[in-house]
């Protein structure tokens, strides 16, 4: 029997849940890796390994289908994969701009006029305008990606 249709957004949520569960299973396995002689572990490591392997099989399946769907889904002229790459780069750019703006905006106090004066090497006002523009682009792009995720069926 075929699996019922799943939206891309649902698959992404399930993938996130599986990643959390796999992290928890890793911790539980490590917590039950050793036992004092004559004692038993609170949980059976073999059962945890079976559960881990089932989760990893499902995660692999979802990742394959998500990647296939992203690479074949067109939104205008771009694939969803291209849009995600653009979004990730915008996030990185915003993080760098935010750090630069923060560092360039710091005020330094001089105790005496003979001390060296520290000045900003960049135009903070211009950087802030660029940052605001990139933030708006990121919001719009992320909204389009989210909308597409909820409208797109996960491919087999």
pLDDT score of 1: 40
- Condensed to tens digits (0 to 9), the pLDDT of residues 67-93 reads 999 999 999 999 999 999 999 999 999
| Domain boundaries defined on the chain | 8-106+119-151
Angle (CA) 91 93 97, round 5°: 120
pLDDT, average across residues 18-42: 95
pLDDT, average across residues 24-46: 95
**CB-based contact 141:83 (threshold 8 Å):** yes
Structure token digits, residue 155: 């491919």
Q: What predicted TM-score, i.e. pTM, was given to this entire model?
A: 0.83
**Which backbone phi and psi does 115 adopt, to 5 degrees?**
-75, 155
The b/e string for 129-141 (b: 16+ C-beta within 10 A; e otherwise) is eebeeeeeebeeb
Average pLDDT of the chain to the nearest whole number: 93
């Amino acid at each position: 029997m075929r699996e019922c249709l799943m939206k891309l957004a649902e698959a992404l949520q399930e993938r996130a849940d599986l990643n959390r569960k796999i992290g928890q299973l890793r911790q539980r396995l490590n917590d039950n890796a050793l036992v004092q002689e004559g004692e038993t572990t609170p949980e059976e490591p073999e059962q945890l390994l079976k559960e881990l392997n089932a989760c990893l099989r499902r995660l692999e399946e979802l990742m394959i289908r998500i990647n296939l769907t992203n690479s074949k889904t067109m939104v205008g002229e771009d694939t969803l994969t291209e849009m995600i790459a653009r979004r990730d780069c915008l996030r990185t750019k915003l993080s760098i701009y935010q750090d630069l703006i923060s560092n360039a905006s710091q005020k330094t106090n001089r105790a005496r006029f003979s001390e060296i004066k520290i000045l900003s090497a960049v135009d903070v006002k211009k950087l802030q305008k660029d940052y605001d523009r990139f933030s708006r682009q990121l919001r719009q792009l992320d909204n389009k990606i989210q909308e597409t995720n909820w409208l797109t069926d996960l491919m087999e």
